[in-house]
Chain A
Amino acid sequence: MLCFKVIRNFSLWSSVPLGQLDPMSGVVAQYEADDFPQKVNLGVNTYRDNNGNPVVLESVTKALQIVREKKLDNEYPPIEGLQSFIEAAIKVGYGESYYAKNSKNIAGCQVLSGTGAVRLGFEFLNKFVPSGTKVFVPNPTKNIHPIIAKMAGLQSQEYRYFDPITRQVDFSGLSEDLYSAPNGSIVLLHACSHNPTGCDLELYQWKQILDLTKQKQILPFFDMTYQGFTSGDLEKDAQAIRLFTEAGVPIILGQSFDKNMGLSGQRTGCLSLVCSNEKEKQIVVSQLNLIARSLWSCPPVHGARIVETVLNNPEIFQLWLSELRIMAQRMKKMRVSFTKALKDIGSPHDWSYISKQFGMYSLTGIGPAQIKELVEKYHIYLLNNGGISIAGLNESNIKYVAKAFHEVTKHKII
């Protein structure tokens, strides 16, 4: 029989518009293509050492060695992922004492890093919270938070978070906005190293949010991408988690091991929900599995096997803690040095906020024209929102970057 070649005068995909992506990826590509010897990448989204190189942690290398010696197979894990990983992740996220008492009530699911935690979490919430429940996200937040909320069928709304004038948390604005949110709303909170501002809440502020949460039956969804990576101390970075859970407030927690273990390529994360009892936990896990089955069937195991080994092997765990401290301290040092370098060079602006912030990112207030100038004249790459990644700074480039920043901002208001 004849089968005529299909001739399409139209393209099936002709109405597909060019998609807009978040600002990060374009920066990396541009930077790679640049051959200027003094180029600086302040859009880097993973840790760099003082030589500007990515780091493979020794604790991770040792853990991988142990994993390989086990000669494990490649069989499908359960839909919810590796149980040993989930337990270990929950333990480090919630703390040993809370875990010892309550692990039976915590529903956990291995996911594809922080993004996977948010996607699975929001899809779950959309299915089970009353329709019309909104997700409140900080202004600003990671680009994908509101986008994923929408994908999952949830409406999102911003609450004030960052004050661009003081470059600190606008706590009165935050409180006002959350108090006027409908009862039962979902509120997304960055546990530490707020991305993209670097501005974190202090303990007394977390306590006030806890009160608000209790009063208004808020569902807190913590995004904890940087535990340990912020201050170097796992417990300190999770202080909000400790506070809320010890107060008996059921939380939702998304954890990622991309940054704090340098495992970004392996996509290892955990989503957990605090339930009232073990039965409820089993029910919630079964529902999470139903959703995960149609997203990815089951998660990849390589990263999870490594993380589980790091967290459960006492020697390697201590080694990891020391490596975390080194990373966190280096970034703190760069913040302080950068502020000083800008002051020393005579900048008319107050850059001290950079030293007061935490983690990888800082929003500089630098505008599009200056961002362009920094690229074209100085080969220094920022994020489109004027944000910088502190990990891109090191002792060799800090003076050069300070000089460049000074040059492009000295006559401007930022």
Chain B
Amino acid sequence: MQKLQLLQNQYNPTSDDIFYHIVQAPPDPIFGIANAYKADTSSTKIDLGVGAYRTDEEKPYVFEIIKKLEKEIVNDPTLNKEYLPIEGLADFNKGCQKLMFGQNSPLIASGQIVTAQCLGGTGALRVGFEFVKRHIPGDVYVSKPTWSNHNQVIERAGLNQFEYPYFEPKTKGFNCAGTIECLSQARMGSIVLLHVCAHNPTGVDPTENEWLQIADVCKKRRLVPFFDCAYQGFASGCIEKDVFAVRKFAELGFQMIVAQSFSKNMGLYNERVGAVHIVTSNKDISARVLSNLKIVIRTICSNPPAIGARIAAKILTDEKNFNAWVEELKTVTGRIIKMRTLLKQELDNLKVPGNWDHITRQTGFFTFTGLTPEQCDLLTKQYHVYLLRSGRMSMAGITSKNVRYLAESIKAVVQKK
């Protein structure tokens, strides 16, 4: 991102001119697509842009358990409506630790996990990287490709970033050898941003064995793992299995950072519910880390918003609510998996040129289709199908009613000379 150039030779401040030299920023790659979709009046439009779940009726979905718990909270006169502590709601934080590291993780008991409530996944990443910048500054290695906002957050936090070759376009799989090779050249003490599961945008995850190889190179080069977990529950269908990487690295003794989001898996997109965890070596250091984490948070928002965390806490700390949530989540993720299968079937039926196995092989919200930016543009302009120019398609926007049209549109753009 370039620093903006002044249009004139010299900035000449008069009261009319304060902002004259500022140029329009490009629309956000993801929110911009959502806006364009909203503005489109076509009856056949399909929204496969932003990672937000839709029902088979193309409607947004509020979890039943969330509705129930929000009602309880709103009607509870005993609840304190005041400021949360800077680090957020204690129950919520504890619940997040258990979900991420395991109910009985010894790290929780030993006080080695420092947790703070943050503003969704973005908030957790920003807080984590600001903390890194202040206390363990180093180069950050991000996957190629990665979620577009990662690059922006890291840059605003004032850190340098490099890419490791995550996705192998030929196999449409994880490039383990390339990743390990790249990381083994990284300067000691560099930070590695790793997607815990359901990699965004590729949908391709390392196997357990491959995670061990990543752990090994991190150990050798003293790299600091920084995990981003926005899709726990969406990858394997099992919420514990999905966080294998974090739990394994914790077991192996890594000190690390984890950003956790509940936007997707609790459908709490607009209440900004997330957490950052920092794993230390003992509870005295944890106390110091927490005090500094609080300073970072204080200078962004002072303290986090309450309602979303209260709802999430009720799920995470009550067995009945938790089980109800897990069941509902299975329905949601099940529908996405079904849409993957349907789309592949339609593409096969239509004999669309190319190998589309990756659609069912990839996991989570997204498919990295392999469509070129030009093909994506055509898909949008001519067929009103909205996806990212990188070829990333949100499967959560596909329905049993629009999947055929989608397959036909893909066929049309792939076959166009």
Interface residues of A (CB under 8 A from B): 1, 3-8, 11-22, 25, 45-46, 54, 56, 64, 68, 73-79, 112-116, 119, 123, 127-128, 130, 144, 147-148, 151, 183-184, 214, 217, 219, 248-250, 258, 262-267, 273, 275-276, 280, 282-284, 286-287, 289-291, 293-303
Contact = CB atoms under 8 A, between A and B. Distances in A.
Interface centre among A75, A266, A291 (most CB of B within 10 A): A75
Given A291-B156, A294-B156, A300-B119, A128 B298 contact: no
Given A283-B24, A300-B308, 8 more contacts: A3-B212, A6-B215, A68-B71, A123-B156, A265-B83, A266-B307, A295-B122, A296-B120
Contacts of A127: 3-4
B87 to A, nearest CB: 10
Given A144-B302, A267-B304, A302-B307, A11 B282 contact: yes
Nearest to B292: A19
A138 to B, nearest CB: 19
B31 A265 contact: no
B301 to A, nearest CB: 4
Contacts of A13: 135-136, 255, 278, 280-281, 285, 288-289
Interface centre among A64, A76, A130, A282 (most CB of B within 10 A): A76
Interface stretch (B7-15, B171-179, B397-405): B7-15
Nearest to A256: B302
Contact of B82 (A17, A20, A265, A294): A265
A287 B22 contact: yes
Contact of A290 (B3, B25, B34): B25
A1 B270 contact: no
B129 to A, nearest CB: 9
Given A3-B252, A16-B285, A284 B15 contact: no
Interface in B279-317: 280-282, 285, 287-289, 291-292, 294-295, 298-308
B45 interface: no
B161 to A, nearest CB: 13
Contacts of A295: 119, 122-123, 126, 156, 300
Contact of A275 (B19, B83, B300): B19
B307 A17 contact: no
A283 B11 CA distance: 18
A276 B19 contact: yes
B109 interface: no
Given A8-B281, A78-B31, A56 B81 contact: yes
9 contacts: A3-B216, A5-B253, A6-B253, A11-B285, A17-B288, A56-B81, A76-B269, A250-B15, A250-B18
Contact of A6 (B61, B219, B291): B219
A4 B120 contact: no
Contacts of A217: 13-15
A392 to B, nearest CB: 14
Interface in B180-231: 209, 212-213, 215-216, 219, 224
Given A1-B212, A76-B50, A296-B126, A12 B81 contact: no
B19 A77 contact: no
A187 to B, nearest CB: 13
Contact of A68 (B35, B74, B85, B304): B74
Interface in B31-60: 31, 34-35, 50, 52, 60
A267 B122 contact: no
Given A128-B19, A264-B83, A16 B253 contact: no
Interface centre among B22, B62, B294 (most CB of A within 10 A): B22
Nearest to B71: A68
Contacts of A219: 18
Nearest to A67: B74
Contacts of B31: 76, 78-79, 289, 293, 298
B83 A1 contact: no
Interface residues of B, number: 91
Given A113-B302, A130-B11, A276-B19, A11 B281 contact: yes
B372 interface: no
A286 B24 contact: yes
Q: Is the interface of A mostly helix, strand, loop or mixed?
A: loop
A184 B120 contact: no
Nearest to B151: A294
Contacts of B50: 76
A74 B83 contact: no
A110 to B, nearest CB: 11
Given A112-B300, A249-B15, A289 B28 contact: yes
B120 A297 contact: yes
Interface string B256-294: 000000010001111110000010111001011101101
Contacts of B11: 130
Given A13-B285, A21-B294, A148 B120 contact: no
B352 interface: no
A1 B216 CA distance: 10
A283 B26 CA distance: 10
B257 to A, nearest CB: 10
A286 B24 CA distance: 6
A298 B306 CA distance: 16
Contacts of A114: 302
Contact of B299 (A20, A115, A289): A115
B355 to A, nearest CB: 31
B84 interface: yes
Nearest to B291: A19
Contacts of B84: 265
B254 interface: yes
A16 B302 CA distance: 21
Contacts of A267: 301-305
B291 A21 contact: yes
Contacts of B123: 295-297
Interface string B123-159: 1001000000001100000000000010011011000
Contact of B291 (A18, A46, A248): A18
Contacts of A56: 81
Nearest to B215: A3
A369 B123 CA distance: 40
| 4 closest A-B pairs by CB | A112-B301, A19-B291, A265-B306, A297-B122
A184 B18 CA distance: 9
Nearest to A262: B81
Nearest to A47: B82
B16 interface: yes
Given A183-B13, A300-B270, A264 B224 contact: no
Contacts of B300: 112, 115-116, 119, 295-296
Contact of A299 (B26, B71, B272): B272
Contacts of A299: 272
A56 B81 CA distance: 8
B225 to A, nearest CB: 10
Contact of A148 (B153, B291, B299): B299
Contacts of B81: 54, 56, 262-265
A56 to B, nearest CB: 6
Nearest to A247: B15
Nearest to A75: B60
Contacts of A18: 287-288, 291-292
Interface centre among A8, A21, A297, A300 (most CB of B within 10 A): A297
